[in-house]
Structure 1
Amino acid sequence: MTAAATTRLVDSARRIAPLAWPVFVGQVAVLAFSTVDTVMVARYSALDLAALAVGAAAYITIFVGFMGMVLAIGPIAGQLFGAQKTEAAGAQLHQAIWVALGLSALGSALLLMPAPFLYAAQAKPEVAEKVQAYLGYLALALPPSLIFQAFRGFNTAVSRPKVVMALQLGALALKVPLNALFIYGLPALHVPAMGAAGCGLASAIAMWAQLAIAWWVLRRDPFYAPFGLHVTRLDKPHWPSLKELLRLGIPMGLSILIEVTGFTFMAIFISRLGTTEVAGHQLAANLVSLMFMMPLGIANATTTLVAQSIGAGRHADAQRLGWHGLQIGAIVATVLGTTVYLLREPVLRAYTNNAVIVAAAMPLLAFVAIFHVADATQTVAAFVMRAYRVATAPMVIYAVALWGVGLGGGYVLAFNLTGLTPEPLLGAQGFWAASVTGLVLSGVGLCALMAWVLRHKTGR
């Protein structure tokens, strides 16, 4: 890399960093919800931890796909903001809330009927009962969670991620004591110990509180005045705007759904192998999810700047930022992935003192460095293409690589369907090996597609 190229990369990093770090901190706070759940329930009982793994997989499967649809507001509002069409950008928030409300009704109904997930996991009756109680409370948490995603997407689009970060940290601060109260109980206040179900109740309370404060911020902060937002009522549904949100949001949501379910369905299938196997996977999965927040912050910041540059007609700047965001994400992921791999044993012991669960998770972290670099690369590439409103082709790549190779291949290896699986790849390790392969393939495919999109959009 020449000195001039290095200087340009550093300049891009200086533009990306102020937007990336609040997203990173905020998303770590969001992930800390599940981390806190995992750590606290792991110390409560292995049975509740198994129920948490299955229930969390079911909730995430529903939430993330719908979240992706709502977050289509980001590139749309970002381009409008870059073009200085502030009122048009503000109007997108109301339309995104309508999308969130409709999806909330469907999602909450699915959470109250978890039979398909329980069947896929072949959950034992005692686990199934706990899963149902946990998801029942999360059905109450879904509506405020999805509506908040509209608020989050809008603020990211207009370069105001610190507000979202503050609210996410506040929700976490409320979640921790509520978790302790409802998981372990407090006889003095006649609060029973609820185990995994207590996590769901704590999340529901925290999410409604977070949404209430977000509404108050929209009402009181003068920053939002130029956007023409009405906080006492929703604008009527505007069908052209809803159509555009869904045109971009459906493939975005499906892409995120494929990406996440390629991972969460691992937990459901691994649960068939026993409580210890799924508990070990839960720790490893939570760790790589925590690591993912750094490239996710970089990807969010990059797509914001790219979308704003497109709206302002600065196409060369958009192209340069896209490539630099990809390079920065890969470099950071390489350093972080290598560090965690070298320190994997003490990191796992920070989760639990149960030597059996640590032993089950340890082999899975052998895949972490390659997994993380591939995950970071494909994520940044996908986000850059969303800034250009390209989402359908990435969805197809995800389906083939993550579902076909990752999940399908992992099932074949883990359960030795061909009779040819070597001993080290039986069980959970087979799923992780196939998942890494799928992520590498998706990274290669998405980077190639990104190169084509950038050349096509800029004429280079």
Structure 2
Amino acid sequence: MFADMRRIAGLAWPVLIGQLAIIAFGLIDTVMAGRYSAVDLAALGLGSSIYVSVYVGLTGVVLALQPIAGQLFGARREAEIGEQVRQALWLAAALAVLGFTLMAFPGRLLAISHVPPALYHRTELYLRIAAVGLPAALVFRVYSALANAVGMPRLVMILQIGALGAKIALNFWFVFGGFGLAPLGGPGCALASTVINFVLAAIGITLLARLDVFAPFGIFSRFSWPNRRRQAELLKLGLPMGLSYLIEVTSYAFMALFIARFGTTTLAGHQIIGNFGAALYMTPMSIGIATSTLVAHALGAHRYDAARSLARHGMTMAFVIGCCYAAIAFILRPAIIAGYTPNPAVIAAAMPLMPVMLVYHVFDTIQTATSFVLRAYRVAVVPTVIYAVALWGVGLGGGYWLGFNVGGFTPAWLIGARGFWAANAASLAVAGCGLFIYWRSVSTHFQAKAIVDPVEPHLATTPTRSAHDETA
């Protein structure tokens, strides 16, 4: 058990540091926009919720590369990895067109929240600036997916830490103005991120072409047009993965849209709690990614018992650490919230949401680790159905029913933003239980397959075939 945990930790800590650097983008945005004005903080919360929904949904499709490349790497079929990367880049380009269109014309999405005109226009500007950087962000995700798949997360972490330093400097400049530039407020945060996304994409492509660790894959050794079979393979896994990401994020995004109806102050408090919750989420996500990588390698080598053991130990590790985080954050909650904003009204709005969010976080550790493990098994359709029922049904539907007191039976303390957070915590409990039960069934099926036919590769792995045999 402890040997597995050490292996997981060895891959998880660079992922965690890199992801904390990225989540610090949101922290910096929240703090600086909050210092600029309450309207800009609210616009940031609303705009970032929509952006994250679009970006994460599309990223989930692109990240199908990670379990596919991970299994190929475990099976020592390096030549096929390069072709999969080329196809993933084509897929990222197509998805970028879709994402840009959604964010550049956000009128219908913003209409749901019934926000005042000033908030509407600030949010619209934020989204249009962020839309420009979306293609570069997706290209960088291809790079990070491959680096994580082959067990080299430090190559991603270094770039993310460097990006954080640039983000701080650019945010100060764009948000508050200077050197001939007028202050942009909240939209300045989007401009800083857009610049950084293009720099990261350029560096990522350069490293894929020149680093020795990627040389065996021959990523840019030949040109490939989109290949129907390869694209179908990516989409078969990527579409349900993307949809599950979209379900998870939109359950939060629509929560922000509905909470906006309670006023700017309530939305600002929700933004603070959501941002801190996202920071806590980075640890179970990092453990999930690390566990998924090792499980994919084991599955590619047909070591199904090892895959099951690694998965179980990764889930346990995520849950225990999540409980420790929740206990510490509950004790320190006044200081944590005060660090985000000096506004007493916003602090008062955020404080009662913190305990509910911490319960949400504990359940989140279970479902996060399990969902990443299932992706390593290249199983995504059933988990997506579980997500839809739990997060959209129990979470968003239940939150609307509680928060707006639709039935007239909601306790007073659950009316408003707290009702939405409570329903979402319940939804993650349902999702976590459902995903864990399904993982046990899937892993048992793999083990049974190995006993019956220990030589034949499992149906989840692709047939052995050189990428050079593919026709464009």
**What is the aligned partner in structure 1 of residue 131 from structure 2?**
139
**What is the aligned partner in structure 2 of residue 118 from structure 1?**
110
Q: C-alpha displacement at 1:234, in angstroms? A: 4.8
Cα distance in 2 for partners of 1:307, 1:443 equals: 21
Q: C-alpha displacement at 1:217, in angstroms? A: 1.6
Does the Cα contact within 8 Å between 1:414 and 1:427 map onto a contact in 2? yes
TM-score (norm 1): 0.96
Q: How does 1:191-270 map to 2 (within 5 A)?
A: 191-230=181-220, 234-270=223-259
Does the Cα contact within 8 Å between 1:337 and 1:368 map onto a contact in 2? no
Q: How does 1:177-192 map to 2 (within 5 A)?
A: 177-186=169-178, 189-192=179-182
**What is the aligned partner in structure 2 of residue 106 from structure 1?**
98
Choose from 287, 290, 294 the match for 1:305.
294
Q: What residue identity is the alignment partner of 1:274? A: G
Q: How does 1:10-89 map to 2 (within 5 A)?
A: 10-89=2-81
Cα distance in 1 for partners of 2:51, 2:108 equals: 12
TM-score (norm 2): 0.94
**What is the aligned partner in structure 2 of residue 331 from structure 1?**
320
Cα distance in 1 for partners of 2:37, 2:442 equals: 50
Q: C-alpha displacement at 1:219, in angstroms? A: 2.6
Q: What residue identity is the alignment partner of 1:169? A: I
**What is the aligned partner in structure 1 of residue 458 from structure 2?**
none
**What is the aligned partner in structure 1 of residue 462 from structure 2?**
none
**What is the aligned partner in structure 1 of residue 391 from structure 2?**
402
Q: C-alpha displacement at 1:220, in angstroms? A: 2.5
Q: What residue identity is the alignment partner of 2:219? A: L
Q: C-alpha displacement at 1:268, in angstroms? A: 1.0
Q: Deviations over 1:201-258 (max 9, x none)?
A: 1111010011111122223211111111117x75221211110100000000000111
Cα distance in 2 for partners of 1:219, 1:104 equals: 22
Aligned to 1:142, the other structure's residue is in SS state helix
Q: What residue identity is the alignment partner of 2:245? A: I
Are 1:176 and 2:168 matched, yes or no? yes
**5+ long unaligned stretches in structure 1:** 1-8
Q: What residue identity is the alignment partner of 1:191? A: L
Aligned to 1:421, the other structure's residue is in SS state coil
Cα distance in 1 for partners of 2:419, 2:28 equals: 27
Aligned to 1:43, the other structure's residue is in SS state helix
Does the Cα contact within 8 Å between 1:78 and 1:308 map onto a contact in 2? yes
Cα distance in 1 for partners of 2:119, 2:447 equals: 54
Q: What residue identity is the alignment partner of 1:221? A: L
Q: C-alpha displacement at 1:362, in angstroms? A: 0.6
Q: C-alpha displacement at 1:127, in angstroms? A: 0.8
Q: How does 1:382-421 map to 2 (within 5 A)?
A: 382-421=371-410
Cα distance in 1 for partners of 2:404, 2:358 equals: 25
Identity of matched residues, %:
45
Cα gap change, 1:234/1:365 in structure 2, threshold over 3 Å: closer, same or farther?
A: farther
**What is the aligned partner in structure 1 of residue 158 from structure 2?**
166
Aligned to 1:121, the other structure's residue is in SS state coil
Are 1:445 and 2:437 matched, yes or no? no
Cα gap change, 1:48/1:369 in structure 2, threshold over 3 Å: closer, same or farther?
A: closer
Cα distance in 2 for partners of 1:215, 1:73 equals: 16
**What is the aligned partner in structure 2 of residue 91 from structure 1?**
83
Q: C-alpha displacement at 1:118, in angstroms? A: 0.9
Cα distance in 2 for partners of 1:317, 1:157 equals: 17
Choose from 378, 402, 424 the match for 2:413.
424
Q: Deviations over 1:48-107 (max 9, x none)?
A: 111111111110111000000000001100000000001111221111111110000110
Cα distance in 2 for partners of 1:420, 1:202 equals: 46
Does the Cα contact within 8 Å between 1:309 and 1:315 map onto a contact in 2? yes
**What is the aligned partner in structure 2 of residue 370 from structure 1?**
359
Does the Cα contact within 8 Å between 2:360 and 2:422 map onto a contact in 1? no
Cα distance in 1 for partners of 2:357, 2:41 equals: 22
Q: Deviations over 1:154-209 (max 9, x none)?
A: 111000110111111112211111111011011xx220010111111111101001
Q: Which stretch shifts more, 250-259 or 85-94?
A: 85-94
Q: What residue identity is the alignment partner of 1:396? A: V
Cα distance in 2 for partners of 1:239, 1:170 equals: 37
Does the Cα contact within 8 Å between 1:172 and 1:206 map onto a contact in 2? no
Q: What residue identity is the alignment partner of 1:416? A: N
Cα RMSD (Å): 1.1
**5+ long unaligned stretches in structure 2:** 452-472
| Number of equivalenced pairs | 449
Cα distance in 2 for partners of 1:146, 1:124 equals: 32
List structure 1 segments (4+ residues) > 2 angstroms apart after TM superposition. Answer: none
